[in-house]
């Protein structure tokens, strides 16, 4: 087999370009320097302990976790039946609706955030927490509809029909036959939506208010006044979390089938 050296070098460069900054952050999080500097002078875990002792970080971390979890759950409750309906029924304007549900992944986050700000905060004056749930629910929904929808489309429709002939009502068929066969899609969409909600900056930024800060916002606030490596430490913790989730998705469904 002919080995293409040029291609290998090029691929290596691209990977380096993507990974080196991350590596630097990981390294600096263990450094004894008081600002984020590379290379580091000595090794310490001080910045990690600082992160865990920072109340603003911990509060916003648990708030982000809570918002992401509840928003994703809501998105599943609404999104799975919607995805089913779009996949199975001849809904009027089905393709149009499908592209519409993709739009939040295409439209710039800032625009989505500002639009939500206009409606959720200014027009309808939702309380802050509920507004955050609603906003994050809306950014989670497209992932659920898209991922679960593609899983349902891959499912042989005749297994539903056969369950009807065996005596299932449509609802029973959905619960006994469809749901058990789309669990991988539901799980994957849960992970994806969760990560997206958790890492989302614009929507959180626009919808949060006094006393309610989401983690990315809290992180940005911190960087404005401090430039110490606890920011790196926090980033490493978040990266680890994301890597674990992605690994779980890859193991359950395979990333290729949802991207």
Beta bridge partners of 31: 43
Kindly state the smallest distance separating residue 173's Cβ from other proteins, in Å. 8
Residue 213: name the closest of 50, 63, 54 by CA.
63
Per-residue burial over 184-215, b if 16 or more Cβ lie within 10 Å, else e, is bbbbbbbbbbbbbbbebbbbbbbbbeeebbbb
d(CA 156, CA 84): 13
Kindly state the smallest distance separating residue 174's Cβ from other proteins, in Å. 13
Sign of CA dihedral 121, 125, 130, 136: negative
- Per-residue x/- mask for other proteins, residues 240 to 259, rule CB under 8 A? --------------------
Q: Which is nearer to other proteins, 23 or 162 (CB)?
A: 162
Question: Does the protein bind other proteins through residue 150 (CB under 8 A)?
Answer: no
Q: Hey, which residues between 179 and 238 contact other proteins (CB under 8 A)?
A: 180-181
Question: Does the protein bind other proteins through residue 166 (CB under 8 A)?
Answer: yes
Question: Does the protein bind other proteins through residue 158 (CB under 8 A)?
Answer: yes
Tokens 């911990």 sit on residue: 58
Angle subtended at Cα 200 by Cα 101 and Cα 34, rounded to the nearest 5 degrees: 165
Kindly state the smallest distance separating residue 147's Cβ from other proteins, in Å. 19
With CB under 8 A as the contact rule, the residue among 95, 125, 165, 259 that binds other proteins is 165
Question: Does the protein bind other proteins through residue 91 (CB under 8 A)?
Answer: no
Tokens 């359950």 sit on residue: 252
Kindly state the smallest distance separating residue 184's Cβ from other proteins, in Å. 11
Name the site residues for other proteins (rule: CB under 8 A): 156, 158-159, 161-169, 172, 176-177, 180-181
């Amino acid at each position: 087999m002919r080995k293409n050296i040029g291609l290998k070098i090029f691929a290596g460069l691209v990977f380096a370009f993507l990974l080196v900054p991350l590596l630097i952050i990981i390294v600096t999080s263990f450094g004894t320097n008081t600002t984020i500097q590379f290379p580091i002078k000595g090794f310490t875990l001080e910045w990690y302990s600082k992160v865990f002792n920072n109340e603003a970080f911990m509060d916003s971390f648990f708030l982000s976790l809570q918002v992401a979890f509840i928003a994703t759950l809501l998105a599943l409750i609404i999104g799975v039946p919607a995805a089913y309906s779009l996949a199975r029924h001849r809904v009027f304007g089905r393709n149009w609706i499908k592209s519409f549900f993709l739009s939040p992944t295409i439209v710039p986050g800032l625009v989505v955030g500002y639009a939500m700000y206009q409606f959720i905060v200014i027009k309808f004056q939702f309380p802050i927490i509920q507004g955050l749930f609603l906003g994050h629910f809306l950014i989670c929904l497209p992932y659920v509809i898209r991922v679960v929808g593609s899983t349902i489309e891959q499912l042989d429709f005749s297994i539903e029909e056969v369950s009807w002939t065996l005596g299932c009502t449509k609802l029973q068929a959905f619960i006994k036959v469809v749901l058990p066969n789309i669990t991988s899609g539901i799980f994957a969409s849960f992970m994806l939506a969760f990560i997206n909600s958790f890492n989302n900056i614009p929507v959180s930024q626009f919808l949060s208010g006094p006393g309610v800060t989401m983690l990315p916002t809290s992180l940005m606030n911190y960087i404005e006044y401090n430039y110490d490596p606890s920011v790196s430490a926090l980033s490493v913790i978040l990266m680890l979390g994301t890597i674990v989730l992605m690994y779980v998705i890859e193991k359950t469904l395979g990333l290729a089938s949802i991207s």
